Amino acid sequence: MAQLPGSIDRETCSNAHMVHVPGGRFRMGSDAFYPEERPVRLVEVDGFWIDTTPVTNADFARFVAATGHVTCAEKAPDPAAYPDADPGLLVPGSLVFGRHPDAPSGPPSWHYCPGANWRLPQGLGSGIESLGDHPVVHVTYRDALTYAEWAGKDLPTEAEWEYACRGGRDDPRPYQWGEELAPSWRMMANYWQGHFPDHNACLDGWEFTSMVASFPPNGLGLYDMIGNVWEWTRDRYSLPSICATTAADRCCIVRNPRSADERADNRPPAYGSDDDFKVVKGGSFLCAENFCQRYRPPARQPQAIDTSSCHIGFRCVSRG
Dihedral angle computed from the Cα positions of residues 113, 114, 119 and 123, in that order, rounded to the nearest 10 degrees: -50
CB 123 within 8 A of CB 140: no
Residues 6+ apart with CB under 8 A from 314: 54, 55, 136, 139, 144, 147, 148, 155, 231, 232
Q: Give the integer Cα–Cα distance in Å for 28 and 245.
A: 11
Distances (CA, A) of 256 to 76, 105, 125, 184, 237: 37, 49, 44, 37, 16
CATH architecture for segment(s) 1-266+274-320:
Alpha-Beta Complex (3.90)
In degrees, rounded to 5, the angle at the alpha carbon of residue 245 between the alpha carbons of residues 241 and 247 is 125
Tell me the sheet residues that pair with 170.
none
Query: Among 75-84, 150-159, 268-277, 283-292, which stretch is predicted with the lowest mean pLDDT?
Result: 268-277
DSSP assigned state of 44: E
d(CA 182, CA 250): 34
Q: How does pLDDT run across 110-133, given as a tens digit for each residue?
A: 999 999 999 999 999 999 999 999
Q: Is the pLDDT of residue 154 over 60?
A: yes
Residue type for position 106: G
Mean pLDDT for 226-245 is 84
Cα–Cα–Cα angle for 211, 216, 155, rounded to 5 degrees: 65
Q: How far is CA 190 from the centre of its chain?
A: 14
Model confidence at 88, pLDDT cuts 50, 70, 90, reads confident
Positive or negative torsion for Cα 314, 27, 214, 47: negative
The strand pairing partners of 112, in sequence order, are 95
Helix (H) or strand (E) holding 98: strand 93-98
Query: What is the C-alpha separation between 135 and 59, in angstroms, rounded?
Result: 9
Taking the domains of the chain in order of start, what are their residue ranges? 1-266+274-320
Distances, alpha carbon 142 to alpha carbons 20, 147, 164, 267, in Å:
25, 9, 23, 9
Distance CA 126, CA 123 (A): 6
The closest alpha carbon to 268, from 115, 80, 3, 7, belongs to 80
Query: Residue 268 above 60 pLDDT?
Result: no
User: Are the CB atoms for 157 and 257 separated by under 8 Å?
Assistant: yes
Comparison of pLDDT for 260 and 258, the residue scoring more: 258
Could you give the CA distance from residue 270 to residue 8 in angstroms, rounded to a whole number?
32
pLDDT digits (tens, 9 = 90+) for 7-64: 444 344 444 599 999 999 999 999 999 999 999 999 999 999 999 999 999 999 999 9
Which of 161-170, 210-219, 244-253, 295-304 comes out lowest in average pLDDT?
A: 244-253
| Per-residue pLDDT at 103 | 74
SS3 content of the chain, % helix, strand, coil (to 5): 15, 20, 60
CA-nearest of 286, 231, 280, 310 to 54 is 231
Q: Beta strand pairing status for 93-98 and 109-114?
A: antiparallel
Q: How far apart are alpha carbons 187 and 166 in whole angstroms?
A: 18
> Residue 5 — very low, low, confident or very high, per pLDDT cuts 50/70/90?
very low
